[in-house]
Structure 1
Amino acid sequence: MDVVIIGAGVVGAACAYYASRSGLSVAVVDRGPVAGGTTGAGEGNLLVSDKEAGPELGLALLSTELWRDLCAELPHTIEYETKGGLVVAPDDTTLKALRQFAEGQRVAGVVSAEVGPDALYDLEPHLAPGLAGGFHYPQDAQVQPALAAAHLLAASGAEVYPGEEVTGFLLESGRVRGVRTSRRTLRAPRVVNAAGTWAGAVAGLAGTTLPVLPRRGFVLVTEPLPRVVRHKVYAADYVADVASDSAALQSSGVVEGTPSGPVLIGATRERVGFDRTLSTEALRRLAAQAAALFPFLADVRVMRTYHGFRPYLPDHLPAIGPDPRVPGLLHACGHEGAGIGLAPATGALIAAALTGAEPPAPLHPFRPDRFPEGAGPGPSAGRDRGHPAPNPPGRADHPEETP
């Protein structure tokens, strides 16, 4: 075996897919089922619209191309949909801030178009009246995340061991030689940590640190409706919530239709460890903000709600690539809410690092050892299973692809 990947979410599956395509033999192990963590709780959005020019946006643009290729390569549907995103502004001040944000993105290769108040309702006829305008992002897309993870993993041909927790690393003279699980020993000269919100704990098993923390989010799911919401539509303050360092509850209206009929409503963010308690305040905010964007939703039934935990790193960038502190250990984690969107680029970067090939994007901004020595996943890491952006007008403090 050439490499063991810890984590069978969409990031781990993408790493397995691209490593296998590079000629490596791969094993994937996960304490739960395929897509049983953050991936299964995600909405599947592939976004460039919420990212300013910088390393993360570069990964997002690369992944936009790779997702398009994967849709053609994979033998089964992943419900890839190029529906585009629409960011709306309630007033001229907010619209001006969006205009400046979009200009910076455009230099980096993002396609967007300003939409005036009249044309806004041509794109989304059911939006609330009186909005000042917005920006349309045709590159934004969506996949069904659990399907994407499952089909990437199947196409990789990897040996898959679900329901097996990694209990330790095999180390010789400080170098990785494989892992021990609750059922077996898997020997390999390289191990990839793609354990999502548990990546900090996995790093600890290898004798190193990575300050990954869980960031909880909720999603409301309505009764099935005709396709009344055509794009992913969100208020401008969503971008700021993504970039916030605050641990407190934050919410901003994010609404999108699905091919099967239900409307998905997000997004909240808060750092509460792995607390799975249902937050009525979070749900109340979501419902109110969704109805503020689309008034008809006030009379639509919510059929269910779900929540998950995004793997958060303090600088809002993922950790991708070799860990120089533990030879043979690589990381592919900490994507927070962007993991589904950034999975293909992450997998391609990991495959290049494993084979010594030229990476398709710079690795340096994502180096796993960039955090202060001794930083760890925090005191809540073992209790349960489980990018900077501009300040938007009207928000002093600042979900994304996942709830």
Structure 2
Amino acid sequence: MRSSIPQTAIVIGSGIVGAAIAYFLTRRGIRVQLLEASAPAAEATGAADGAVSVASKRPGPMMVAAIAGVALYRELEHEGLFAGLFKSRSTFIVATSDEECAVLEAHADALEQAGVRIERLTGGALFEVLPALSPSTRLAVQVHGEGHAIGYQIVHRLLTADGIVVDRHTPANALLRDANGRALGVETHKGQIKADVVVIAAGTGSATLLGLADILIPRKGQLLVTERAPRLNAAFAGSIMSGRYLMSKGNRKPGAPTPARGLGLVIDPLVTGQFLIGGTREDHGDRRTNDIGAVSHILADAVALVPQLVHVRLLRSFAGNRTAVLDGLPLIGRVPGLDNAFVATGFEGDGICLGPIVGRTVAELVCGEAPSIDLVPFDPARFKSGMVAA
């Protein structure tokens, strides 16, 4: 534990994780300088689906962290910080094949064991709740107590709540450190910036600062947005997630090969009356582009699951990169070899859900408080040999 609270901190990255860290440090009276290579929420946060969800999380530490993450959203919404930004709803995971049913049943058991309130729906009960689904749907698991939040709106609220200013177009090029195992600050094209503490939350940009180019992976995702279809939208009691989405995130049978392109399906009814439909998980490709193969596949799967979508026009498609870690768990904690440097990165598609809880937890760690979530599974030291600070 740290013996005293630092007076100044540099936070690198103003996506939802970096913004949350800056917010919770500022609330503790620490003067924060928030550095950003481009603009707030310009990368993964701005291209996210907005799911504040436990439903798709892998059993174990990610599911446990997500439960705490959803609870914090509700707490901050009740307190007013997230007022008007957090929409409470259920998530429905649905299965249409034997393989999906088997994966979904096992996942439902894991959710129950973690204390998540779920309900299994079959037959008439299923279609009474979800009348728009294809008759081929065999099983749905309703995950209660979920939610939705738009990433860039959350970032804006976190930054403006305490007047946090972002130094835009100021990437951190290198960490400054002394011979005694302490970070002094960072090197930028504007010169050196120094502080008592440095926190790295720069997504894929964290790889260069930490020497983890082979550990932090840019993983592309493609998403689609439809026109407004209020009547069909109103028939959705929550977000619809195909069992295939669980498999695209790694919930496969042991020994099954990992596909070059993971194709899942989530159909998200937005408050605008539109639908957000996704998506892919790809370790290759230009993050700025969509391709007809992926878009066609996603649309075909969506129409197969919700036939009435055939009458709804696609307005636009977009893509973005999410930062993943080689072993599937984010890096959260102290940078090995540096007493006063911390990292929080590698959340892939879970950053919106986990951003605020990670922000609070990192602030607690910096200030020597007991962390809100168990950080042992996410300890960056598991990749110590690859880090520049080691």
State the TM-score, normalizing by the size of structure 1: 0.87
Say whether residues 1:333 and 2:345 are aligned partners. yes
- C-alpha distance in 2 between matches for 1:188 and 1:247: 44
CA contact (8 A) 1:219 1:307 kept: yes
Say whether residues 1:271 and 2:283 are aligned partners. yes
> What residue in structure 2 maps to residue 109 of structure 1?
115
CA contact (8 A) 2:44 2:322 kept: yes
Say whether residues 1:282 and 2:286 are aligned partners. no
CA contact (8 A) 1:210 1:375 kept: no
> What residue in structure 1 maps to residue 33 of structure 2?
27
2:186 equivalent among 158, 171, 179: 179
Q: Secondary structure at the match of 1:169?
A: strand
Aligned residues with identical type, % of pairs: 31
CA contact (8 A) 1:247 1:271 kept: no
1:297 equivalent among 305, 309, 315: 309
Q: Secondary structure at the match of 1:139?
A: strand
Question: What is the aligned residue count?
Answer: 373
> What residue in structure 2 maps to residue 382 of structure 1?
none
Q: Residues 49 and 98 of structure 1: is their aligned pair in 2 closer, same or farther, counting only changes over 3 Å? A: same
Alpha-carbon displacement from aligned partner over 1:50-77 (angstroms, at most 9, x marks no partner): 1233111111011111111122334564
Q: Secondary structure at the match of 1:138?
A: strand
Q: Which runs of 5+ in 2 are unaligned?
A: 1-6, 252-256
Q: Secondary structure at the match of 2:249?
A: helix
Larger mean CA deviation between 314-323 and 118-127 belongs to 118-127
> What residue in structure 1 maps to residue 3 of structure 2?
none
- C-alpha distance in 2 between matches for 1:62 and 1:320: 15
> What residue in structure 1 maps to residue 208 of structure 2?
201
The letter of the residue matching 2:192 is: T
> What residue in structure 2 maps to residue 241 of structure 1?
248
C-alpha deviation, 1:242, in angstroms: 1.3
- C-alpha distance in 1 between matches for 2:163 and 2:276: 33
1:14 equivalent among 15, 20, 40: 20
- C-alpha distance in 2 between matches for 1:375 and 1:180: 18
Alpha-carbon displacement from aligned partner over 1:255-279 (angstroms, at most 9, x marks no partner): 0110012101101111016553432
Alpha-carbon displacement from aligned partner over 1:335-389 (angstroms, at most 9, x marks no partner): 110011011221122011101101112111101121272379xxxxxxxxxxxxx
- C-alpha distance in 1 between matches for 2:358 and 2:382: 17
Say whether residues 1:258 and 2:274 are aligned partners. no
C-alpha deviation, 1:78, in angstroms: 5.2
> What residue in structure 2 maps to residue 230 of structure 1?
237
C-alpha deviation, 1:47, in angstroms: 1.1
C-alpha deviation, 1:243, in angstroms: 2.2
Larger mean CA deviation between 73-82 and 321-330 belongs to 73-82
Q: Residues 182 and 78 of structure 1: is their aligned pair in 2 closer, same or farther, counting only changes over 3 Å? A: farther
- C-alpha distance in 2 between matches for 1:343 and 1:15: 8
C-alpha deviation, 1:202, in angstroms: 2.6
1:349 equivalent among 350, 361, 364: 361
- C-alpha distance in 2 between matches for 1:289 and 1:246: 20
Q: Secondary structure at the match of 2:371?
A: coil
State the TM-score, normalizing by the size of structure 2: 0.90
Larger mean CA deviation between 67-76 and 14-23 belongs to 67-76
> What residue in structure 1 maps to residue 224 of structure 2?
220
CA contact (8 A) 2:82 2:154 kept: no
C-alpha deviation, 1:185, in angstroms: 3.3
- RMSD, matched Cα: 2.1
- C-alpha distance in 2 between matches for 1:183 and 1:310: 27
C-alpha deviation, 1:331, in angstroms: 0.6
C-alpha deviation, 1:301, in angstroms: 0.8
Q: Which runs of 5+ in 1 are unaligned?
A: 377-403
- C-alpha distance in 2 between matches for 1:163 and 1:18: 23
The letter of the residue matching 2:245 is: Y
Q: Residues 325 and 141 of structure 1: is their aligned pair in 2 closer, same or farther, counting only changes over 3 Å? A: same
Larger mean CA deviation between 120-129 and 208-217 belongs to 208-217
Larger mean CA deviation between 166-175 and 140-149 belongs to 166-175
1:370 equivalent among 358, 382, 385: 382
Larger mean CA deviation between 90-99 and 365-374 belongs to 90-99
